Structure 1
Amino acid sequence: MKRLDMVMDVRDVPKKSQWFMLSLQHLFAMFGATVLVPFLTDLPPAVALISSGTGTLAYLLITKGKIPVYLGSSFAFIAPLVTAIGDSGVPGAMVGSFFAGLVYGVLAILIMGFGTDWLMKVLPPIVVGPVIVVIGLGLAPTAINMAMNVDGNYSGLHFSVAMVTLVVAILGSLFFKGFLSVIPILVGIVVGYIYALIVGVVDYSGIVESWNQIVSAGSIGEFFSAIFVAPKFVIPFVHYSPFEVFNWSLLALMVPVALVTIAEHIGDQMVVSNVVGRNFIKDPGLHRSILGDGVATMIASFLGGPPNTTYGENIGVLAITRIFSVFVIAGAAVLAIIFGFIGIVSEVIMSIPEPVMGGVSILLFGIIASSGLRMLIDNQINFAENRNLIISSVILVIGIGGAMVKFSIGEVNIEIAGMALAAIVGVVLNLVLPGKEVGRGKGDMFESDVDSK
């Protein structure tokens, strides 16, 4: 049934005079969070922008242009990426990301053949909720370290920058109206950056150098060369051989995270279905949306960017503007790709001080943890049931405590740690302990109260 308050339907093409600004709005909504992930994992922000844009275009194609969502950098993969890059370098992390994306493809085939009931049995809210809490709280030390420490030592000046950024983001989330209400994180970063400039903790030498190259260009060719700069892609078979960097430890580290991000994906599909007024889980189908998400992550791994996931920030833009056009989303994806090739944009991003990112991370990582609690509440999980209490408790302690399992198969050393181990243990406990129905609560992650079109 058509929504009466709809401004633009899914297949409506915006007017040329409006298209750019509507797409730019979506770009701003995803910008802060998408840039934060490469900032924390030492991946190039420009590549993250390009991979999010290309991944979104692939997603729109695979879902037959029926689901208006934007894909950006996934927070769930931050800790695994940091570990993988430290152990095997960026090429190794990209191989792990590729196989995590491949899990989506396998799951899409299974859903197409067997439906979704079995998936709910493997990933009920009692497993997914606590694991999401682990993702947020596991990243908490990183946020605090960025907010108040310089080379391991406390800095009151840097902590003040983090607090200014955090306060602005909090106030924006509560009191901003209209479009500003969907970009409080970006506003917080901008205000924090300005304050950091005032107190002198910004290194803007890269920006100055890039700007000088632009203004000193002596020809049109030099001018465009100064503006458009090739990002630092890490491409398989060009910059490295996947077969040489592959090891089973990478799979054990990265692949289990896909269990969590798949559950998040399903939740986002439910939300966007209710916002738009269509059941996207039925049409074009959960198998298509999951496949699109996985392909986007695999594309990112071919470029050297972080894995992608559907973005709640952009779903928020849909809800506020009532503009559901996939052409607007595609426009935002194209803009992200263009921005990724503009050198001075990359320099501006790289000049953002750590305490600014630390300030917004305190809020964002906390929201991730809180969203896990919200999943448990929304599905009315009863913690008076010992089964639910046991599963959630074990997941939280294993994940946040940093437990790990190390073993060898022949000459292959495998290590499963932290969130990945917590997710696996949670799935196993849920499958073997009696009374599985209490872990599902009273909600249903695969049903929607909107009509399919």
Structure 2
Amino acid sequence: MSKPILDVHDKPAPLQFIALSFQHLFAMFGATILVPFLVDLPPSMALISSGLGTIAFLLITRFQVPAYLGSSFAFITPIIIAQTAGGPGAAMIGSFMAGCVYAVVALIIKKAGYRWLMRLLPPIVVGPVIIVIGLALAGTAVDMAMNETLANGSKEYNPLFLSAALVTLSVTVGFSIYAKKVFSLIPILMGIVAGYIYSMFVGLVNFDPVKEASWIANPEWLIPGVSYDIAVTPQLVFLMVPIAVVTLSEHIGHQLVLSKVIGRDLVKNPGLHRSILGDGVATIISSLIGGPPKTTYGENIGVLAITRVYSVYVVLGAAVVATLFGFSGKVTAMIQSIPTPVMGGVSILLFGIIASSGLRMLVDNNIDFGDKRNLVISSVILVLGIGGAYIKFGPVLEIHGMALSAFVGILLNVILPGRPSADEALESLEKIS
């Protein structure tokens, strides 16, 4: 490990502080605003909730874990299903419950350690579920890239839309492959910028809302009991809880990788229970104001690795700036003016990367598909999740595809003989990120 330029508790000089904070802001920006764009939530709340969630995370981890929390892609499909069934309020209630799952697991880990979680979530379960998370969104990405929504609600192929998507995708791929240092960590942002500029020239951008927006504006808050009625249903529980259990493995993987990057054992100090609790509290805060669930971002861990600046104060600065941006009407209007095919173009690569990371996890861990146990578990998870299977229990309870596949995968792993040891599962989690 190289010697850090700024260690975890070092304070940068004022100008250095601003520049380094904006690096982290740019690293998370593209992905964080994409999630609310896909699930029809206010982008201002995605920025505010990511900022407040990161601040809460830093406080809970005693300013020892330099991690930034942005919007989680794992919950996109469950949020869309929840919104369809019960409106934005249902999605927020489901997100709140997901955050509570993190809090409960954190408490159990503090008392009983985390080896039990490793055995519950080996690569043969987590890998296929991650593949499902990516591929279940493939149709959405392609539809955004190709089709224009007409006034009557129907879809129509639009070659201009496709051209904007291809420009966006090409630039994103180019930065992913050829860019160096920090620029290699912001391909999503650079792709969106390039696609936006192209869309301006071909007439796909409407600047009127940006011109009319004020610099300072009150965001679109979604407050429980005020903006919507609170109603917890079994369907919401089974929709969100299985996904929250699986995304815990992503969190643990990030903490293991981050520990290697900064040269500190974060699993022991401040403790995995604290970082998981911080992630859960960030998601709870987000759900109470109208933002999507939160997760630690690999892009920001990459910024730490490249710059060798591990200061929590830099991450805190990025969180404060993100929160302030959420209160800017101009910034929000600019985000909302991004054409749909631009977001579709970047989504094609991003959702594919999510699916590929699940495949990579299986490859890196030498999962033997000649083993009937592995073949059965992965096959069932993939078909149930991508196929959109669901189970109905009466008129009020449904368990949908992604959540159902995660639940069935965990169940099969528990009941079928030949489960891997906790140590084997722990080693695999480092390869998620």
Q: TM-score range by the shorter chain?
A: over 0.9
**1:382·1:438 contact (CA, 8 Å) conserved in 2?**
no
Equivalent position SS for 2:393: strand
Q: Distance in 2 between matches of 1:114 and 1:297?
A: 24
**2:93·2:232 contact (CA, 8 Å) conserved in 1?**
yes
Structure 1 letter corresponding to 2:267: I
Q: Highest Rg: 1 or 2?
A: 1
Structure 1 equivalent of residue 152 of structure 2: none
**2:257·2:430 contact (CA, 8 Å) conserved in 1?**
no
Equivalent position SS for 1:65: coil
The match for 2:371 among 365, 385, 396 is: 385
Q: Distance in 1 between matches of 2:422 and 2:116?
A: 14
Q: Distance in 2 between matches of 1:417 and 1:318?
A: 37
Equivalent position SS for 1:298: helix
Q: Distance in 2 between matches of 1:9 and 1:445?
A: 28
Worse overlay, 61-70 or 254-263? 254-263
Q: Distance in 2 between matches of 1:185 and 1:92?
A: 29
**2:118·2:425 contact (CA, 8 Å) conserved in 1?**
no
Equivalent position SS for 2:396: strand
Structure 2 equivalent of residue 163 of structure 1: 166
Structure 2 equivalent of residue 190 of structure 1: 193
Structure 2 equivalent of residue 132 of structure 1: 130
The match for 1:142 among 124, 140, 143 is: 140
Structure 2 letter corresponding to 1:238: V
Q: TM-score, normalised by structure 1?
A: 0.92
Equivalent position SS for 2:399: strand
Q: Distance in 1 between matches of 2:428 and 2:287?
A: 29
Give how far 1:441 is off: 5.4
Structure 2 equivalent of residue 231 of structure 1: 219
Equivalent position SS for 2:98: helix
Q: Distance in 1 between matches of 2:426 and 2:87?
A: 42
Q: Distance in 1 between matches of 2:22 and 2:159?
A: 36
Equivalent position SS for 1:444: helix
Structure 2 letter corresponding to 1:316: G
The match for 1:58 among 49, 56, 59 is: 56
Q: Distance in 2 between matches of 1:303 and 1:443?
A: 35
**1:388·1:438 contact (CA, 8 Å) conserved in 2?**
no
Give how far 1:251 is off: 1.3
Match status 1:153 vs 2:151 = no
Q: TM-score, normalised by structure 2?
A: 0.96
Give how far 1:442 is off: 7.4
Q: Sequence identity of aligned pairs in percent?
A: 58
Structure 1 spans left out of the alignment, 5+ residues: 211-225, 449-453
Q: Distance in 1 between matches of 2:52 and 2:216?
A: 18
Structure 1 letter corresponding to 2:405: A
Match status 1:433 vs 2:421 = no
Structure 1 equivalent of residue 257 of structure 2: 271
- Deviation sequence 1:285-308 (CA, Å, 0-9, x none): 111111000000000000011000
Structure 1 letter corresponding to 2:228: Y
The match for 1:241 among 201, 209, 229 is: 229
**2:115·2:422 contact (CA, 8 Å) conserved in 1?**
no
The match for 1:345 among 331, 344, 348 is: 331
Structure 1 equivalent of residue 397 of structure 2: 414
The match for 2:86 among 79, 85, 88 is: 88
Give how far 1:445 is off: 4.5
Give how far 1:121 is off: 1.4
Structure 2 spans left out of the alignment, 5+ residues: 150-154
Q: Structure 1: which 4+ aligned runs deviate by more than 3 Å?
A: 438-443, 445-448
Paired residues in the alignment total 426
Q: Distance in 2 between matches of 1:209 and 1:147?
A: 28
Structure 2 letter corresponding to 1:26: H
Q: Distance in 1 between matches of 2:16 and 2:430?
A: 35
**2:121·2:425 contact (CA, 8 Å) conserved in 1?**
no
Structure 1 residues 137, 439: closer, same or farther in 2, change over 3 A? farther
Structure 2 equivalent of residue 282 of structure 1: 268
**1:378·1:443 contact (CA, 8 Å) conserved in 2?**
no
**1:270·1:445 contact (CA, 8 Å) conserved in 2?**
no
**1:379·1:443 contact (CA, 8 Å) conserved in 2?**
no
Alignment of 1:209-220 (within 5 A): 209-210=212-213
Structure 2 letter corresponding to 1:112: K
- Alignment RMSD (CA, Å): 1.6
Structure 2 letter corresponding to 1:284: P
Structure 1 equivalent of residue 4 of structure 2: 6
Alignment of 1:271-310 (within 5 A): 271-310=257-296
Equivalent position SS for 2:427: coil
Give how far 1:83 is off: 1.0
Structure 1 letter corresponding to 2:157: Y
**2:381·2:409 contact (CA, 8 Å) conserved in 1?**
yes
Match status 1:98 vs 2:96 = yes
Match status 1:357 vs 2:355 = no
**2:361·2:428 contact (CA, 8 Å) conserved in 1?**
no
Structure 1 letter corresponding to 2:54: T
Match status 1:201 vs 2:199 = no
Equivalent position SS for 2:70: strand
Give how far 1:116 is off: 1.3
Give how far 1:384 is off: 1.9
Give how far 1:238 is off: 2.8
